[in-house]
Amino acid sequence: MLSFTPGQKLENELRVLQGKIVETYSNIEYLSSEEAKYLHRFALISNIGASTRIENAVLTDPEVEWVDTILQKDSKTTAFEENKIFILDKLKKDRERSVEEVVGCRQILSTVYLQAKELFPLTEVIIRGLHHDLLRYYPRAVSFAGGYKKIPNQVIFINHKTGEQRVVLDPSPPGIITSMAMADLVNWYNLNIRENPWPLLVATEFVFRFLAIHPFQDGNGRLGRALFILTLLQSDDKYLKEITPYVAIDRHIEQNRSLYYTTLHQCSEGKFHDDPQKYNIEPLAWFFIRILRSSLSDIKVYRNRYARLQKLSESAAAVLSCFKSSPEKRLKVAEIVDHTGLPRRTVQYALQTLSKNAFIQKLGQGAGTRYQLVF
């Protein structure tokens, strides 16, 4: 059972959200395979980009999409190692850590989406394996990837505009307390995720308790958000489970980053407790209701975007492809003409079409006009 009893107001809001989830499911139940693939890739790329940026990585969604495209071409497990120099040359070597975080996050989210069913019942071995994969591309993490922390750690929120830092969570100490807390948490999760009538509340408590423990030296935030998606996919709620691959939850957490950290702190006043009943988890449940509701609205937006994409002319599609192959750049008309080989007038008309349909954004006026990709 949950460590807290949801109030009537919270349960009423959960019922409203469930109605929206069922409505969304009915709208996407019969998607074509191509449209379903497009919507899922949007959610995947958005979640990768947002989850890593929450932890201060710097790659944009168009850059994440480009990295994903490169790695998709070579599906071998060594794809990143074999393409790393090319990727870093493209995206600048001083962003190496961000690229490594993106590739690791991409790997565990792909695993979560593809193997959620096989990953139940959840075990500590599975969680540690996901953590290993998350950090496998970061050379400095070799000594601790997949292993529980050996030195104390903290969750610190940094406001990059003001430089302010504050402790959000002071987690469990390393050693036996962390090990026991993780064992208890995994056992509790397996008993509750398919029995409780509100799987979103189970997901909320599970992820908060995971973050309060902060079992690993690094990567807990990214892994915690991936585990949240996994819990939704492992629930017995048919509608919630089916719409989850198409919602960019982390995109909306990123947009509410300060509130996210404030709410995490509010749940425990920043302190770990071995008794979960000492936490106040309901504020985080309200936060996730808001986030999931916002995420559902993205599906309609990107279905409309997919429909507009199908109507693009061959020349407009070629120009769009030019932007996708250079996500790090703001392109001038002359550069697009050189890249595509299309007449200047054709390129200009294609740019008007792409701007009108919100695939690209126009920046500046006159001779200094440039265009950039919109994700």
Are 303 and 316 within one domain? no
Residues 297 and 366 grouped into a single domain: no
**pLDDT, tens digit, 9 for 90 and up, residues 266-277:** 999 999 999 999
Task: Give the CATH number for residue 287.
Answer: 1.10.3290.10
Co-location of 19 and 53 in the same domain: yes
DSSP letters of 104-132?
Answer: HHHHHHHHHHHHTTTT-S--HHHHHHHHH
Residue 375 to residue 354: CA distance in whole angstroms:
12
- Same-domain check for residues 132 and 165: yes
User: Would residue 109 count as lying in a domain?
Assistant: yes
Nearest C-alpha neighbor of 270 from the set 157, 203, 171: 171
* Per-residue pLDDT reduced to its tens digit, 171-207: 999 999 999 999 999 999 999 999 999 999 999 999 9
Q: Which of 220, 215, 218, 208 is nearest to 266 (CA)?
A: 208
User: Under DSSP, is residue 31 helix (H, G, I), strand (E, B) or coil?
Assistant: coil
One domain, residues 195 and 148: yes
Residue 170 backbone phi and psi in degrees, to 5: -110, 95
Do residues 351 and 279 share a domain? no
Decide if pLDDT at 77 tops 80: no
Residue at 1 is within a domain: no
Q: Give the pLDDT confidence of 278-337 residue by residue, as tens digits.
A: 999 999 999 999 999 999 999 999 999 999 999 999 999 999 999 999 998 899 999 999
Phi, psi of 257 (to 5 degrees): -60, -45
- Using the 3D structure, point to which of 308, 324, 344 is the last residue of a domain: 308
Q: Say yes or no: 173 and 69 in one domain.
A: yes
Query: Residue range 76-94: average pLDDT?
Result: 83
Domain-ending residue, one of 308, 343, 359: 308
Same domain, 178 and 241: yes
pLDDT tens, position by position, 93-151: 668 899 999 999 999 999 999 999 999 999 999 999 999 999 999 999 999 999 999 99
* Span of 67-81, 118-132, 240-254 with lowest mean pLDDT: 67-81
- Helices (H) then strands (E): counts for the chain: 16, 4
Sign of CA dihedral 146, 149, 150, 155: positive
CA–CA dist 57, 72 (Å, integer):
22
* Average pLDDT value for residue range 344-372: 94
Check pLDDT > 90 for residue 78. Answer: no
Helix (H) or strand (E) holding 155, with range, is strand 155-158
Looking at per-residue confidence, does 105 or 83 come out higher? 105
Distances (CA, A) of 59 to 246, 286, 304: 21, 29, 26
Query: For the chain, how many structural domains are there in total?
Result: 2
Do 203 and 103 touch, CB atoms closer than 8 A? Answer: no
Any domain includes 344: yes
Residue-wise burial string across 317-355, b where 16 or more C-beta atoms lie within 10 A, e elsewhere = ebbbebbeebbebbbebebbbebbebeeebbebbbebbe
Q: Within a domain: residue 2?
A: no
Strand, coil or helix: what is 138?
coil
Contacting residues for 223 by C-beta, under 8 A, at least 6 apart: 108, 127, 130, 131, 134, 210, 216
Other residues' Cβ atoms within 10 Å of the Cβ of residue 212: 26
Give dist(CA 6, CA 103) in Å, integer: 38
What's the pLDDT score for residue 218?
A: 95
pLDDT of residue 93: 62
Do 13 and 137 lie in one domain? The reply is yes
The overall average pLDDT reported for the chain is: 94
Segment 207-245, tens digit of pLDDT: 999 999 999 999 999 999 999 999 999 999 999 999 999
Query: Does residue 155 surpass a pLDDT of 90?
Result: no
Question: According to the model, what pLDDT value does residue 375 have?
Answer: 86
10-14, 88-92, 289-293 — which is least confidently predicted? 88-92
Least confident interval from 26-40, 52-66, 88-102, 356-370: 88-102
- The confidence score (pLDDT) of residue 160 equals 66
Q: Does 213 map to a domain?
A: yes
Domain that holds residue 347: 312-373
Q: Which pLDDT belongs to residue 220?
A: 97
